[in-house]
Structure 1
């Protein structure tokens, strides 16, 4: 019997992981499921950008080089001859759902998230109010984003209690020379060098035990040069860190580790109260960490620019329920970044769940479609760490294999499996970029970095990426 043909849309971690897991599971379970004793698969992995790796390349802060080592593992998967990378091919523009359903036995969407959830408090339409997604794309060199970003605000607010909020706020107090060991693009270096920020305020609506920071994020916060950490005694009082709160936090290992690290941040901030950084050097910037602080409105000047954040003091119950106290404070700022969650992209022809911000699915099975699936953020929403996509992929693959086994054709359901989509794309004037094309980009970026004793420097221009990828 012929090999299975599978289309995976999205070549970020979720797409690469699900491809790898699917190939492994077919080999391990093909006889058990009656798929054929020699069943194998070919996967076409589509990516709308000229280069793969999605979130790892374009969603991880540049001062997270350890996380970016994940690219090495992902590359090993892409180098598998059973997987064909087809980058610079956009679903909905270059190919459609009908195109792939005719040629593949299954379609898996691993499309990630590209937009911010909207900030809905009064004044959110003020000038100099930004969604975190756009700023992240700027400092990560996303190919379609303007290379310029004005950083002229002296006092900045960041709204959010998760890792994206911490990334954004940390980059706003970073000095670019401290990032020369990373892949920071030259335009981002120049932008950060011109940064006017003196005070950055991070507002977390709930208490210390209900924040969503990772331990690694907090450890990086603790090692910021020339930055004073400022916390508030009330946020770490016995009334907040009650036995009930700590017991609830202690039930989850990661949460308890995060709380312990926040207590360390508190201790460090007390030692920095004389205006120094973590090494005792004079601090030039201040990083304020506010808990139980719910921004309820943004105040505007006559010209519509944001001038302050109105914050209500809250109380958080052990179960995470948050209540306002009616006590308000206004903190002057000239810019606001909100990191309150991403919104995974909608896909032409695929139902969308507006409440969960996911493709409409159950266990990865897309509602109303046969042999069409989702994994990663497209499946569960924009929560969890990069490694969480592996458990998503396992469930999606399990359901896919079960559906194949239950079908009368044992999974060979594509009407025209021999019609290579590469020919269709060629007829439409689309030239996909393969794994060898990515290797050319990677080699070029490393060569660029070597000229200034850096590991590599990221190319940000979309057309330049294409030219390099094609060896032109």
Structure 2
């Protein structure tokens, strides 16, 4: 496995909110599989820069692309480039100590807008309103904890373009939002009132019914019982049309959308300006093109058929496959990748006869890796990083403390005093 970062585990390590109940289980499951297999790891090696896809194809019978969706989807509205307008990917990277994320994050805004109707929007909101003390039990660095401790956020407005039955909030994540200490969640009862579409979707899908029930419980809370100092306002049927400000974010202009009873909405022309000092965009993620690999720029994924990468004419490219978010887009919980990966592997196995006779020569890979220009972190190197983070945890009375500095990760992983680029 070739990985651009100095550590394995990708989304599990760098994409989940700190303290996520399932993250350690995911890592343990992957660890069990990897140590029991004929597996080689090359972290800190970037495909497209250090090695090409063609280098891999000439060296292996099959290559599976699983590079995920690291880029924020574009929100094409005026003002999106103003200081104080942030993509969720950067913020999630910061609080997860991603090596490529900013080291410091501005937490001075008191009123914040979060745009998006999925779990990432909820994660962003929870971290904006998090208290530093509970993070002591997680693996975040002291720098992140100190940043959270300095947060001035008192009010978060979440804007969702469609209705509650079409949002991708999971029931568990909604309940976790409602359990934030010192925070009230406010939902307009009119936004979650029964209509044809909501009733149809809640009957068909259990998770939608549970999510809508949770939202209605927020709406049913009497105003007199909302006594917390901080609030989350969940607004459905609202779409952003402009970020306002002079040299910085000062407000978000939002337009009401009208539902048609079938899951679609139309613009109403009725707009409201919400005074905010920061806007977080959590409207989805896109894959990054790889040189030599056909890419669907509109959807942000690799062009494929059942996991087999196809060329412009729709024909499979021998020995090249794709899985995960780079295959189907950034949607679904981590478990959703399992059937997706199974399909790709089954496609690969069915095609073995068609490309199994290709001549492969691993000398190019071995030559590049042995040249000394790269500093790959192998499995033993990852175990050293893992041990170093756990040792830091012991020093701080925590299970582990993540190391976010790339150069330090590479130094530990390779036992070398190198400069990581």
Q: Distance in 1 between matches of 2:222 and 2:20?
A: 26
Q: Distance in 2 between matches of 1:356 and 1:212?
A: 18
Equivalent position of 1:160 in the other structure: 116
- RMSD of Structure 2 on Structure 1 (CA): 1.7
- Relative distance call for 1:404 and 1:290 in structure 2 (3 A) is same
Q: Which has the larger displacement, 307-316 or 51-60?
A: 307-316
* Corresponding position: 1:444 with 2:388: yes
Cα displacement (A) at 1:426:
1.2
Equivalent position of 1:337 in the other structure: 280
* Corresponding position: 1:126 with 2:82: yes
Equivalent position of 2:156 in the other structure: 200
Q: Distance in 2 between matches of 1:273 and 1:457?
A: 41
Q: Which has the larger displacement, 163-172 or 242-251?
A: 242-251
CA contact (8 A) 1:207 1:315 kept: no
Equivalent position of 1:317 in the other structure: 260
Cα displacement (A) at 1:471:
4.1
Which consecutive residues of structure 2, in runs of 5 or more, have no partner in the other structure? 312-316, 417-421
Give aligned pairs, total. 411
**DSSP 3-state at the match of 1:288:** strand
Which consecutive residues of structure 1, in runs of 5 or more, have no partner in the other structure? 1-44, 277-282
Aligned with 1:252 (options 194, 201, 205): 205
* Corresponding position: 1:469 with 2:413: yes
- Relative distance call for 1:376 and 1:273 in structure 2 (3 A) is farther
Cα displacement (A) at 1:66:
2.5
**DSSP 3-state at the match of 1:315:** strand
Q: Distance in 2 between matches of 1:262 and 1:68?
A: 29
CA contact (8 A) 1:78 1:435 kept: no
Q: Distance in 1 between matches of 2:57 and 2:349?
A: 17
CA contact (8 A) 1:173 1:287 kept: no
**DSSP 3-state at the match of 2:78:** coil
Aligned with 1:435 (options 357, 368, 379): 379
Query: Can you list the C-alpha shifts for 1:97-141, whole angstroms capped at 9, x where unaligned?
Result: 221121110111000111101111122122210111111110110
1:406-417 equivalences in 2 (<5 Å): 406-407=354-355, 411-417=356-362
Cα displacement (A) at 1:366:
1.2
CA contact (8 A) 2:318 2:354 kept: no
**DSSP 3-state at the match of 2:369:** helix
Equivalent position of 2:314 in the other structure: none
* Corresponding position: 1:405 with 2:353: yes
Aligned with 1:289 (options 234, 238, 247): 234
Aligned with 1:381 (options 329, 344, 355): 329
Cα displacement (A) at 1:217:
0.8
Q: Distance in 2 between matches of 1:406 and 1:318?
A: 49
Query: Can you list the C-alpha shifts for 1:318-349, whole angstroms capped at 9, x where unaligned?
Result: 43211122222111001100101101111111
Equivalent position of 2:300 in the other structure: 357
Q: Distance in 1 between matches of 2:102 and 2:252?
A: 27
**DSSP 3-state at the match of 1:150:** coil
Equivalent position of 1:13 in the other structure: none
Aligned with 2:320 (options 372, 379, 401): 372
The TM-score with structure 2 as length reference comes to 0.93
Equivalent position of 2:404 in the other structure: 460
Query: Can you list the C-alpha shifts for 1:343-367, whole angstroms capped at 9, x where unaligned?
Result: 1111111111012110111211112
- Relative distance call for 1:84 and 1:318 in structure 2 (3 A) is farther
**DSSP 3-state at the match of 1:451:** helix
Q: Distance in 2 between matches of 1:284 and 1:220?
A: 18
Aligned with 1:262 (options 215, 222, 228): 215
CA contact (8 A) 1:293 1:314 kept: yes
Equivalent position of 2:73 in the other structure: 117
Equivalent position of 2:245 in the other structure: 300
Cα displacement (A) at 1:314:
1.5
**DSSP 3-state at the match of 2:41:** strand
CA contact (8 A) 2:192 2:212 kept: no
CA contact (8 A) 1:296 1:312 kept: yes
- Relative distance call for 1:439 and 1:313 in structure 2 (3 A) is same
Q: Which has the larger displacement, 354-363 or 49-58?
A: 354-363
Q: Distance in 2 between matches of 1:326 and 1:191?
A: 39
Cα displacement (A) at 1:390:
1.1
Equivalent position of 2:56 in the other structure: 100
**DSSP 3-state at the match of 1:228:** strand
The TM-score with structure 1 as length reference comes to 0.83
Cα displacement (A) at 1:421:
2.4
Q: Distance in 2 between matches of 1:161 and 1:137?
A: 19
Aligned with 2:41 (options 61, 85, 100): 85
**DSSP 3-state at the match of 2:387:** helix
Q: Distance in 2 between matches of 1:456 and 1:381?
A: 32
Q: Distance in 2 between matches of 1:153 and 1:444?
A: 35
Cα displacement (A) at 1:243:
4.4
* TM superposition outliers: structure 1 runs of 4+ over 6 Å: none
